[in-house]
Amino acid sequence: MDLNFTNPSPESHTIHLHGLDVDQANDGVPATSFQLATGESTVYSFTADHAGTFLYHCHVTTTLHLTMGMYGMILVKRPDQTLFAGGPHYDQDVPLLFSDLEVATNLDPVGSFPFHDIRPDVFMVNGHRGTQLEEEANMVWSAPGDTVALRLGSMAYSRVRCHFPPELHAVCHMSDGRPLPETFAVDSLDIFPGERFTILVAPEAGWDGAVSCAFWNMVDPGVEDVQDIRFGALASSVEEGGSPWLRPGYPNPADQWYALPEAAAPVALSAAGEVVVWDLQGRLFFRGPLDAGRLDVSGWPEGAYVAQCGALPKTRFIVAH
């Protein structure tokens, strides 16, 4: 696949595809490939041979550029919704990216150079922390019988220790983008910087607990912070349960059109109903009729959206062109 990369910022940057099997020219390490100066554009090309959980980050003055947030997660997925060739089937992907930063370095990166003594004091999951992780949109939702793939990856300076309550029946299937020779049931897992794990969970019906994640300092042994990934239980029938969120429709991410999940787009809506769409900032983006359960997103800006029909549950999706 191709990644089109344009650099409008005053600094040079790269995209390092952490853990993906790319050739040296596309690896994004400045000394061995190239870096992109202000105003330049390039295309990173690679073949994603292995399904799995990966990361990316800028590799120029890495400490500084990580502190400014130049990182993310990459999922290589199979169309048949299995983890890997011959691997287990699952219902839903939940990316969980751990990161941290030191506020003083973030506010004054140049003054903090050469970064020999970073001690993070903000600890995040998917860029959220504390009460943000209690918001419905940031929780993990599953219906009875669902198998959820937790895609764990860490860009943190800390060691992250996750505790999986027994009600989740967590089993680790993959590490660093490859299937494990043998799966193992997991109640506690340490994730070091740059590591990725894919864990399948099958939450017990009605369970609404949390996976607690302790951020351990890598220099002085001790827990700096704990963040909770909260789980919510959907009823088996969305109509009966009135659950606040639905799983997304398809395709997701969407390019030309997006079909709402069936339970959010009853047939009647195509005649009389309307759909309301908000952007990630909660601003009203679109209001209008559905065309056979589909939204035409071909002209929409890239980003995350929330759609709702009437009083039915909301669904989240991403537009990417």
Binding Cu ion (rule: CB under 5 A), the pick from 7, 13, 143, 247 is: 13
Nearest approach in angstroms of CB 121 to Cu ion is 22
Q: Among 30-38, 57-65, 157-165, 220-228, which window interacts with Cu ion (CB under 5 A)?
A: 57-65
List the one residue from 17, 22, 51, 58 that touches Cu ion (CB under 5 A). 58
What is the rounded distance in angstroms from the CA atom of residue 143 to the CA atom of residue 137? 16
Residue 300 CA to residue 292 CA, distance in Å, equals 19
CA–CA gap between residue 99 and residue 111 (Å, rounded): 22
What is the CB neighbour count within 10 angstroms for residue 38?
11
Nearest-CA neighbor of 243 among 138, 135, 143? 143
Strands 284-288 and 223-233: unpaired
Closest approach of Cu ion to the CB of residue 175, in Å: 27
Contact status: 65 vs Cu ion (CB under 5 A)? yes
Among 15, 20, 36, 60, indicate the residue that binds Cu ion (CB under 5 A). 60
59 touches Cu ion by CB under 5 A: no
58-90 exposure pattern, b = at least 16 Cβ within 10 A, e = fewer: bbbbbbbbbbbebbbbbbbeeeeeebbeebeeb
Minimum distance, C-beta of residue 29 to Cu ion, in the bound complex (Å): 12
Residues 181-240 that bind Cu ion (CB under 5 A): none
Least CB distance to Cu ion at residue 9 (A): 8
Which range binds Cu ion by CB under 5 A, 58-66, 125-133, 168-176, 284-292? 58-66
Instruction: State the residue number with the nearest CB to Cu ion.
Output: 58
Render 42-83 in DSSP notation, one character per residue: EEEE----S-EEEEEE--SSHHHHHHTT-EEEEEE--TTSBS
Q: Which is nearer to Cu ion, 55 or 60 (CB)?
A: 60
Interface with Cu ion (CB under 5 A): 13, 58, 60, 65, 70
